[in-house]
Amino acid sequence: MDMLWNGWGDPAKAAPLPETVTGLLRDLLGVEPRSTPALGLADIRPPAPTASRAALRALAAAVGDEHVRTDGESRVRHTRGKSTPDLLRIRAGDVSDVPQAVVLPATHDEVLAVLRACAAHGLAVVPFGGGTSVVGGLAPQRSLFVALDLRRMNGLLDLDPVSRTAVLQPGLRAPEAEALLAGHGFTLGHFPQSFEWATIGGFAAARSSGQASAGYGRFDEMVLGLTLATPEGTIDTGRAPRSAAGPDLRQLILGSEGAFGVITSVTVRIRPLPEVRRYEGWRFRSFEEGATALRRLAQDGPRPTVLRLSDETETLVGLAQPDAIGADPAQGGAGCLAIAGYEGTAEDTAYRSERAAAVLRDCGGTPAGTEPGERWAHGRYSAPYLRDALLDAGAFAETLETAAFWSRVPELYTAVRTALTDTLTRAGTPPLVMCHISHVYENGASLYFTVVSAQGADPVAHWTPAKHAANEALLAAGGTISHHHGVGTDHRDWYVREAGPLGVSALRAVKRRLDPEGLLNPGVLLPTD
């Protein structure tokens, strides 16, 4: 099934906001219902492809006629990603950067053939997995491009139960990967909010981080090997789990966002399926107090599999359990809600839960039982659907994220909140700004912000100054421009500053060697020459 063309996920799961929530949006934020009816997919008519017949014939020769799609619906469904500006533009009928065609290869060799065909005919290439990018990662700065949809490359190629490794194809969606691994008694343990739709190749290309990262690690920590198809040939990495044979080329490919090549296979570390899963809720008086508790567990253990903390605003609104917003007025409450989850053997989870509880209590935490944790687990993939409902109701809703060392987290939290609040308030749309910590490390943590406000006359133009102000604030406060969403085009200019002139020059040299014509996702990750 394809994802909803003008929103997130499965259309059958879309639901309007409860009247209690729309009333609060109106009274507190001045949100007004939309004045124009929504466009349907049949109303969106992209311009006809302008790529030459010779180019389309070359693509068909690479993958077969039936796997080159030039119809309007296929091209619209592959236009941009799923950020709020992306959705607002497509909902307004803006398909100015629609691909010329959608090409569906089935093998590594077919990917190489497509890249050769595109190089011969001057077509740019945008690798397309689940289409879940929220940073402009599918919006190249080139009018003539094709979307390289990898959905046919969706197999489990190998599983080594002795080494506990698996080789997965890039177009494999996360639920399908988990089902295939579960058939052998294993799990990847990677469960980001995009889990239901994102793909293995996308996880690697964007350095994804899942909601159980405290226990299973980030996706880049799970990757043991990669195969990359480029216009200049193939790169294979991952002869051993670790190596001292020069710089690790895997790290060059991870996070490259399709700018250096197309990932065609990923070798990953796998773990046995957990015997037990248990999720608990804890209350803290303040975000600072809760963050101290998370730091204690991250640094000294025992570390839960899932560890997250909502600030006072997010807790009060109830966003920690998004599928229940508006259904239970008492679900939020005062203070801050933390979720601690444990997966593994019965003995191990009981041990970690008991020892972690002692740390959480020592830091001022009050146990709230399993209901908040289980409610979070049940609704952890619901937030993007809530974003769609907010847009339908006339509100603006967007997210941004960063990470920093523990000593900088308080300053970073205040700086980004202040930048967003001040910028949008001056524009006449005072926002609700919420935040949570959802990924912790021995040395630092991520911060994930959600912003809700009225849309303004031009929602995209209205948001841009606030986004820029937040980016400036997080860099000034010592944060990274992205912890797990990636760079895309939205963060590119700030990434260039974070990497520095010499670092960017080195990456440009890599791109020139692997992609001499600059055809791979031009303008994504790195500015075009």
Instruction: Just list the catalytic residues.
Output: 448
> Cα(341)–Cα(227) distance, rounded to whole angstroms?
34
260 in a labelled binding site: yes
Q: Annotated binding residue at 258?
A: yes
At position 123, the amino acid (one-letter code) is L
Phi then psi dihedrals of residue 302, to 5 deg: -75, 140
Query: Is 217 flagged in the annotation as binding?
Result: no
> What is the sign, positive or negative, of the torsion defined by CA atoms of 23, 25, 28, 29?
negative
Q: How far apart are CA 273 and CA 278, in angstroms?
A: 14
**DSSP state letters, 467-496:** HHHHHHHHHHTT--S-SSS--TTTSHHHHH
3-state secondary structure of 12: helix
Residue 128 among known ligand-binding residues: yes
Residue 59 structure tokens: 């693509």
476 is in an annotated binding site: no
> Which backbone phi and psi does 25 adopt, to 5 degrees?
-60, -40
295 in Cβ contact with 288 (< 8 Å): no
Q: Is 127 annotated as a binding residue?
A: yes
Nearest C-alpha neighbor of 92 from the set 383, 446, 455, 414: 455
303 with 295: CB under 8 angstroms?
Answer: no
Whether 203 has a binding-site annotation, put simply, is no
Furthest-apart CA pair in the chain: how many Å? 70
CA distances for 238 relative to 52, 203, 231, angstroms: 39, 17, 21
Is 235 known to sit in a ligand binding site?
Answer: no
Distance CA 25, CA 44 (A): 30
Say which amino acid occupies 259.
Answer: A
Six token digits for residue 392: 């339908």
The reply to whether 263 sits in an annotated binding site is: yes
What is the torsional sign of CA 463, 467, 473, 474?
positive
* Contact in structure between 220 and 198 (CB atoms under 8 Å): no
User: How does DSSP classify residue 248?
Assistant: -
Q: Is 191 labeled as ligand-binding?
A: no
Which residue's entry shows tokens 């996706």?
219
Is residue 132 annotated as involved in ligand binding? Answer: yes
- Tell me how far CA of residue 17 lies from CA of 90, 383, 385, 450, in angstroms: 21, 12, 10, 17
Dihedral, CA atoms, 158, 162, 164, 166, nearest 10 degrees? 0
Feature table: binding site: 127-133, 257-263, 387
Feature table: binding site for FAD: 127-133, 257-263
Feature table: binding site for substrate: 387
